[in-house]
A and B are shown apart, each in its own frame.
Chain A
Amino acid sequence: MLGLLSGCATSVDSSKTAAVQAQDSYYAAAQATLQRIAAQRPNTGRAKNVILFVGDGMGVSTVTAARMFEGQMRGVDGESNVLAYEAFPYLALSKTYAHDAQVADSAPTAVAMTTGVKTSNDLIGLDQRGKLEDCETSKTTHVTTLWQMAEQAGLATGVITTARLTHATPSATYAHSASRDWESDADMPPEALSQGCPDIARQLIESNYGDGFELAWGGGRERFLPAETADPEDPSKTGKRKDGRDLTKEWLERFGDGGAYIWNAEQFKALDPAKAKHVLGLFNQSHMQYETDRAKDSAGEPSLAEMTTAAIDMLSSDADGYLLMVEGGRVDHASHESNAYRTLTDAVALNEAVKAAVAKVSTDDTLIIVTADHSHTLTISGYPKRGNPLLGLARGVDGELLMGDDGKPYTTIGFANGPGGLKEGARADLTDVDTTDPDFIQQSLVPLASETHGGEDLGIYAIGPWAHLFQGTVEQNYIFHVMDHASKIGARAAAATAAAPKTN
């Protein structure tokens, strides 16, 4: 992977050291890292393609935990393990506060990355003047997303998520809404409907930028199907829409022979990237399964890595390039449950998707960014010995259980707040509890039904053209500006729009 970086190699002469520790294995490893980084040279070519990976809720501590967990899963040293994107050459820290909040939700953070501006919590595709659930104000505060500009410029566009396609992060590529909760008309207040604000699902289907998204894959069928229509996977459930519209049919009608709608693993496998031009994939009634539960899905669901691979195959046929968002949407959901097992297995699934992308594209002309939208309250603490099972009870260097001052053992991973906290009573004794069980809930100090987001900075890992512009501590909305600068999508969209003003 790193061999794909452009520029000639140089070396740092560290051979003449007097350090007595020069033969130490850690010293030698750091010397190798020094040589690798010293050889890096910026790639200032144009990014034909841009892929933005978002681990929803994947803060720095979750990345660290995922690194250890993934290594331990493979039977190698977890602490020194390296995730696929941790090998990327460039890194910055992202400041995630919202226009109105110290700790943000997924709406303004996604908007920051897709449009280049910060906005308030719960708003999708609106600037800082937007007001929650104010339909009229939303009409005059729209901001254009990079995906919409890419469509205007003639690029292929795609969005993939394991959450509902109408959820905050994916919808920030295509929608404008005074509430992230307005996923279907059934989720909207009558006033907003009467004022003519469209629900989020509709906006994906009706997008009039360019020729519309080439692919949109995730969960959330219920927001696209009418309440009278049974779900194809579980006929005991129905769609949610009250307007009677079947948006999956409308997608097919819009795109004709080039359109496809798929909802199970078999259809996904049968997809022909050469023939499919516009594919809507809705693989679950609501969110897709957690990675660890995916095998039990009755209709079958593709993995995030499989979707990423197929998306690149499909989008690569566009000579103008492509812009793709890939979201691991349920890292966040598992953390809200204070379930570290699913948090980490979904974080590892995202890493597998990154690995798949790196294997398929050339980083000479493809900018890949891996980041998160916000953090969570996950911590890695205590003084567990090297190699201690990450989800296990903390044990010291001699294997002894480490105890709290209450005389009870504790886990290495905890959440500062969440459902693992008790309103009353003493902390549970975990001595005989299997804390590595997939359904174990980590303990918390503050009891909350749903664990909260965290407000600390996030990593932005990047490789490819102009990846070197990620340095230092930057605002989250800066990510948009690097993607735009690297690909020139905004300028290309402006030129295309000027040449054909009726396009949009």
Chain B
Amino acid sequence: MAAASTRRALLGTTLAAVALIGRRRRAAATEQIKIRDLYRTNTEFSERAVALQGQRIEIPGFMAPPLKPDAAFFVLTKRPMAVCPFCDNAVDWPADIVLVLMREQQEWVYFNRPILVSGVLELGVAVDQSTGFVSKVRLVDARYELVG
């Protein structure tokens, strides 16, 4: 890979470094699933993911830099992805990412701080009318908290 640290930045958005995220009490019965367990193959959902459709669940991960500062959504990744060291553009984003549509805007966290997102799981290809963003997995009505 290239030595230059600035090459291949996927998103140039700058972030407020550490957000002051209020910690909330977690609902005891909320199921938690890892991003990697959403898929059976890289193009097929797992049985568990299908069973959790429409339910409020929690997914741990990392916040990729938001596309714009006032966005009401962000991409959740299973490993930190501020700069993809081996990609050229959005087409090369890993398949297993989750689009998080927030209930209300929260302060952003830096790309490598682990977060836990709570939201209602939606599966299937959808195109956001305002951004053109194509997603396969979404958490809607979502909130997140910093966990580390």
Contacts and interface: CB of A to CB of B under 8 A. Distances in A.
Interface of A: 56-57, 101, 103-106, 121-122, 163, 168, 180-181, 187, 222, 233-234, 236-237, 240, 286-287, 289, 293, 296-298, 332-333, 336-337, 339, 419-425, 428-429, 433, 438-439, 441, 447-453
Nearest to B78: A439
Contacts of A233: 43
Given A121-B3, A332-B1, A419-B82, A236 B134 contact: yes
> Is the contact region of chain B dominated by helix, strand, or loop, or is it mixed?
loop
Nearest to B91: A237
5 shortest A-B CB distances, which residue pairs?
A449-B83, A336-B85, A449-B82, A450-B85, A298-B41
Given A419-B112, A433-B148, A450 B83 contact: yes
> Is the contact region of chain A dominated by helix, strand, or loop, or is it mixed?
loop
Contact of B41 (A122, A297, A438, A441): A297
A449 B5 contact: yes
B108 interface: no
A439 B44 contact: no
B112 A106 contact: no
A222 B91 contact: yes
Interface residues of B, number: 37
Contacts, number: 105
A421 B42 CA distance: 29
B87 to A, nearest CB: 7
Interface stretch (B23-31, B32-40, B66-74, B97-105): B32-40
Interface in B45-94: 78-80, 82-83, 85-88, 91-92
A105 B79 contact: no
Contacts of A421: 112
A106 B1 contact: yes
For B1, B79, B83, B92, the residue with the greatest tally of chain A CB atoms inside 10 Å of its CB is B1
Contacts of B83: 449-450
Given A298-B42, A333-B86, A447-B112, 10 more contacts: A56-B1, A104-B3, A286-B92, A289-B42, A297-B41, A298-B44, A333-B1, A423-B17, A448-B5, A449-B82
B38 to A, nearest CB: 11
A419 B3 contact: no
B111 interface: yes
A334 to B, nearest CB: 10
B26 to A, nearest CB: 15
Given A297-B42, A336-B85, A450 B112 contact: no
A248 to B, nearest CB: 18
Contact of A105 (B1, B9, B40, B87): B1
